[in-house]
Amino acid sequence: MIRIENLTVQFGGVKPIDGLTVTLDKSIVGLIGPNGAGKTTLLNVLSGFVTPVAGSMVVNGVVISEIPPHKRAHLGLRRTFQTDQIADDLTLWENVEAVADHAGYRTQAEAQRDVQRAIDYVGLGKRINRKGSNLTTGERHLTEIAKALIGKPQLVMLDEPGAGMSESETHHLEAVIRGIPAYCGAQVFLIDHDVALIVACCEETMVLDFGKLLALGPTKEVLEQPEVRRAYLGDFEAMEAAA
Amino acid sequence: MARDKDKMDIPPGTPLRRVMPILVTLGLAALLGPWLFSAYWLNTFTTVACLALVAGTVAMLFGQLGMVSLAQFALAGVGGWVCLRLIHGFALPFEVALLAGALVAAVFGLLVGLPALRMRGLYLALLTLMVAAAVQVVVDVVGFPDGGTGFTGKIVAGQRVLIQRPWIASSDAAYYRYVVLWLALGLGLIEWQRATMPGRAWALIRKSEAAATAAGVSVLRYKAWAFTFGGFLAGLSGGLIAGLNGQLDNTGFPVSQSILLYALTVVGGVYNWVGVIFAGLLVRALPALLNDHGVDGNLANAFYGFALLVSLIQGRKGLAGQLADFYKFVRMSRILEGTATWGLVSISLGLLFAGLGLAGFAGAFFISLIALLFRLVIPGVCWLLLGFFGKRLQDRAEDLEAALSLRLAQFFERQGWVPDHRLIKRLLNWIFIGVFVAWVASGVFDVPYAVALTLIWLSMTAKVGLELAAYPRLLTLRQRIDKRFPKPFAAYR
């Protein structure tokens, strides 16, 4: 469960997140909003790459505001990046193993088993010895997810995992994301522009616009709301009326 | 074809398997070196081994973490200095002083690395350059312990006192082996780390520090560790240089050498341990070779600028990277065939020349081997240089060569001759290699030029003769072997 209170981030005169207060307790939560709404900034704040000027964040009862980013990873706050971060000259296995090295496993064997399990889970079991440079875009995104599932993740934050994927790959991705809570018990926080993916995966969705909470609730209902449609999808009725 | 090869999925291999080639190759070099080389060359190669160790740390920092450190050679100076002082001052055993020097250099390495925790690229390079310059200034002002007795070791008028080498390695030959074994240990440790946890963390950091942090890697700790470990090995190398000469002086570790070493490590190749050996050879052995032949060794510097340019254009993998690319394509049948024919030709020529009293067995054996090796390598190097003048020119030259070869092959076929169509290429190759390799070999192996030339041409002729004689039967055997053992070095990296 994520509890965010009065969170404000400021870059000079810009406030990408402005007094955000929200409690997210569903197992898969979607986050949508137009470009510049503060989605990635919120992820950066949660994972510790951006320091807020005000507000507090509590994840599963732990106040995380003061913890440095790599320690947040140890705590089980895991994230992926919009541009995937796969080391080209390591194999897929080594890429995932690099995360397992720092996930606090007691024995090597335990770590190896979990690496195998995570890779199998995202469906890349046949690619373990492929070098990072030779993976396709879809495979790279899935590898990123496998990396985020290592250890004992409590919160897995996915930043546009579906970008650049084909339709069939997206279907596979849906299944992978939906299964994460059952796989490791982690809550999933999903950012994507692909509304279909959000609808397919998320029980609950929050909408940001100019750093403020526009809507929060069951995904279908949220997407029906007129102000969400206006902010995110564009005001079709207004456009049609004008035409 | 290259694409296909790249896509092959190959397990990276256990750490031990990745370290083994280093230990075996350098172990052989340590064993055979004194038997092959004259005193002058043995001394040169000992220095080469010391420099290769420093180059190894440069390559580790640049290749693994993407960080440029121009201070590594200065750190070698620090290590050497401390080592000397301790021996002069307290008469410590060589190994103790060596390790103490390395430890002090490790601390300095960490200090140099501190700014690297925040800086990258050009700024880090400039900063480390300043450190190297600072070390030079300090050394100039304070002076190395350059031969006097006592802790300060300053020479006061009168005789220089040289430090004792370790008792197990007091002769030149033994000291060469001693240094090469340290090199093997150092490079082995670097490779071991590449294959284990630090290497994976470094790879993530190189990709992006944010990604590494998100993966739970403490970027700070792993960067600091790389600099500390690099400083340790560089300092070790400095102590070994001190032991080689018995002394050091304040001109030994100039800033210019630091830059040269960095540039040549890039030329040699930073992603592969073979590259740092190349770097050591380029820094010291090539000028020594030129000097040995009465050419000013500084001429090599003129060539290095060009070499750096070529290696940057060719994708920053350096000489070692290109060699590794070449190895990936080598087939099992060719390895077996090569080992058999090369061994047969070289051993029989070695025995023949030793029997006739024209050269030592080892010298003749190795000249013959080198001739066969160059026969393989030189055409590749020529194409590589052509590529420097543009892809189109290279493509055209390749087309032309293919067309000519085809014509020639068809002509041979019509005449009913042996199907070797590479006659022209080989002839040019032979003249060039004969003249050039004989020039090099006559110096290194202490053989008269005429003998070396005869040896080289004989060995290449014998190899071709063997090939032609066995050709018809060999073809099916090759195919059978290749089917069972596909390219064995494809995983090499």
Domain ranges of chain B: 2-316, 330-484
Which residue of chain B has the CA closest to A46?
A: B214
Which residue of chain A has the CA closest to B5?
A: A134
- Distance from the Cα of B200 to chain A's closest Cα (Å) equals 5
List of chain B residues whose C-beta atoms are within 8 Å of the C-beta of residue A91? 9, 11-12
Given this model, what pLDDT does residue A186 score? Answer: 85
Pick the residue with more confidence: B98 or B246?
B98
Asked if A33 and A222 touch (Cβ cutoff 8 Å), the reply is no
- Asked if residue A140 is part of any domain, the answer here is no
Q: What is the mean pLDDT of residues B368-373?
A: 81
HEC string of chain A equals: CEEEEEEEEEECCEEEEEEEEEEECCCEEEEECCCCCCHHHHHHHHHCCCCCCEEEEEECCEECCCCCHHHHHHHCEEECCCCCCCCCCCEHHHHHHHHHCCCCCCCHHHHHHHHHHHHHHCCCHHHCCCEHHHCCHHHHHHHHHHHHCCCCCCEEEEECCCCCCCHHHHHHHHHHHHHHHHHHCCEEEEECCCHHHHHHHCCEEEEEECCEEEEEEEHHHHHHCHHHHHHHHCCHHHHHHHC
Q: Which helix (H) or strand (E) holds B130?
A: helix B121-142
pLDDT range class, residue B3, cuts 50, 70, 90: very low
**Cβ distance of B11 and A70 shorter than 8 Å:** no
Given this model, what pLDDT does residue B366 score? Answer: 80
Q: Where are the beta strands (DSSP E) in B70-168?
A: none
List of chain B residues whose C-beta atoms are within 8 Å of the C-beta of residue A103? 216
Class of domain B2-316: mainly alpha
CA pseudo-torsion sign B185, B188, B190, B192: negative
Q: Is B169 helix (H, G, I), strand (E, B) or coil?
A: helix
Which residue of chain A has the CA closest to B219?
A: A70
Please count the structural domains in chain A.
1
Given this model, what pLDDT does residue B233 score? Answer: 94
- Asked if residue A229 is part of any domain, the answer here is yes
User: Residue A25 is part of which domain span?
Assistant: 2-79+152-242
Q: What is the DSSP letter of B298?
A: T
- Distance from the Cα of A45 to chain B's closest Cα (Å) equals 12
- Asked if residue A74 is part of any domain, the answer here is yes
pLDDT range class, residue B146, cuts 50, 70, 90: low
Average pLDDT over all residues of chain B:
81
Q: What is the mean pLDDT of residues B4-22?
A: 71
Given this model, what pLDDT does residue B2 score? Answer: 40
- Asked if residue A122 is part of any domain, the answer here is no
pLDDT range class, residue B1, cuts 50, 70, 90: very low
- Asked if residue A86 is part of any domain, the answer here is no
List of chain B residues whose C-beta atoms are within 8 Å of the C-beta of residue A102? 201, 215-218
**Cβ distance of A70 and B206 shorter than 8 Å:** no
List of chain B residues whose C-beta atoms are within 8 Å of the C-beta of residue A99? 215-216
List of chain B residues whose C-beta atoms are within 8 Å of the C-beta of residue A125? none
CATH of the domain at A75: 3.40.50.300
Instruction: Kindly tell me if the per-residue pLDDT of B102 is higher than 90.
Output: yes
| Residue B121, C-beta contacts closer than 8 angstroms, at least 6 positions apart | B68
* Total-model pTM: 0.80
**Chain A with chain B: Cβ pairs closer than 8 A:** 84
Pick the residue with more confidence: A183 or B422?
A183
Q: Which of A73, A74, A91 sits opposite B12 (nearest CB)?
A: A91
Given this model, what pLDDT does residue B234 score? Answer: 93
Given this model, what pLDDT does residue B6 score? Answer: 45
Given this model, what pLDDT does residue B322 score? Answer: 74
- Asked if residue A163 is part of any domain, the answer here is yes
- Distance from the Cα of B44 to chain A's closest Cα (Å) equals 35
The tens place of each residue's pLDDT in chain A, 243 residues long, gives 888 888 888 888 888 888 888 888 888 888 888 887 888 888 888 888 888 888 888 888 888 888 888 888 888 888 888 887 888 888 888 889 888 888 888 888 888 898 998 899 988 888 888 888 888 888 888 898 898 888 888 888 888 888 888 888 888 888 888 888 888 888 888 888 888 888 888 888 888 888 888 888 888 888 888 877 777 666 555 556 665
- Asked if residue A26 is part of any domain, the answer here is yes
- Asked if residue A197 is part of any domain, the answer here is yes
Which residues in A157-171 are b (16+ Cβ under 10 Å) and which e? bbbbbbeebeeebbe
Q: Which helix (H) or strand (E) holds B301?
A: helix B299-313
**Cβ distance of A102 and B213 shorter than 8 Å:** no
Q: Which helix (H) or strand (E) holds B255?
A: helix B255-268
